[in-house]
Amino acid sequence: MKKYLIAKTEVLFGIYNGKIVWEEIVYKEDPEKFLNNANKDLENLRNSTKKIKLFDLSNKTETEIYQDVNKNINGIQYANGKVYFVADKGQKIEYIDLETKQKQTLCDLPKGGVSLNGIYDNKLQYCYYTGSEAKIDKAYYIDLETKESKEFKLFDKNRYLVEILAENKDFYFVRTGYELGAEYSTWAGTKQQDIEKENYGLIKKEDYWNSKPEYISMKNT
């Protein structure tokens, strides 16, 4: 049966033992069939095959590590030889160990619908959102070494996550929040607010993970 590879859209995650870690998606059906049907196109993508691969730069060869239905491998995050992900509406965070090529469970979750937000200093952030506006309902992180999970509470006044943008040894450079304009109705009848300004700052790493908003403010010019 013919398969349809998404060409030139592979996602690179990092390096493992001198090899590039990346994903490849193979469509279940020809995507051109669904150019005028967004719902069918999304369903086709969700039920396509996602492969985790390594590309060896020394001899230009690739090795497949793992594959599954695309909807079972969402929100991929990579660190230290492990590829972390969640299934669509799944209630656990899982990972593939690139050395053993085995899938394992990192932790169970209280409910489905989680989003993985990134790995920093060996801590994996994950959040539950209230809707399509990226506002936080609950946020947590899990220490990948100790497996201890802790609630995370650094949000701005609009319930957006305080995001890490860069770091050095002792500090994170973070987006501390957004200044939103007045709410208005769109042509579709939905309510919307535009971002008029973004605020930034520095925060000590220990304060960040302990949800202490001790920011060194930085002017946004």
What is the tens place of the pLDDT at every residue in 129-138?
987 667 899 9
Tokens, residue 160: 């957006």
Q: In this predicted structure, what is the pLDDT of residue 7? A: 39
**C-alpha span between 72 and 129 (Å, rounded):** 19
Q: Is residue 186 part of a domain?
A: yes
Q: In this predicted structure, what is the pLDDT of residue 42? A: 86
Q: Is residue 206 part of a domain?
A: yes
**C-alpha span between 177 and 179 (Å, rounded):** 7
What digits encode the pLDDT tens for the residues 88-102?
888 999 999 999 999
Question: Higher pLDDT residue, 34 or 80?
Answer: 80
Average pLDDT (69-97) is: 94
Q: Is residue 31 part of a domain?
A: no
Provide the domain count of the chain.
1
Radius of gyration of the chain (CA): 20
**C-alpha span between 207 and 203 (Å, rounded):** 7
Residues 6+ apart with CB under 8 A from 181: 193, 194, 195, 196
Q: Is residue 163 part of a domain?
A: yes
Confidence (pTM): 0.85
pLDDT, the chain, mean = 88
Q: Contact at 8 Å (CB) between 155 and 127?
A: no
Q: Cα angle at 154 between 200 and 209, to 5 degrees? A: 100
**C-alpha span between 89 and 189 (Å, rounded):** 28
Tokens, residue 117: 């937000």
Q: Does 128 have pLDDT greater than 70?
A: yes
Q: Is residue 74 part of a domain?
A: no
Q: Is residue 21 part of a domain?
A: no
Q: Is residue 218 part of a domain?
A: yes
Query: Which residue range is the domain that position 192 belongs to?
Result: 156-221
Q: Does 15 have pLDDT greater than 80?
A: yes
Q: In this predicted structure, what is the pLDDT of residue 8? A: 38
Q: Is residue 173 part of a domain?
A: yes
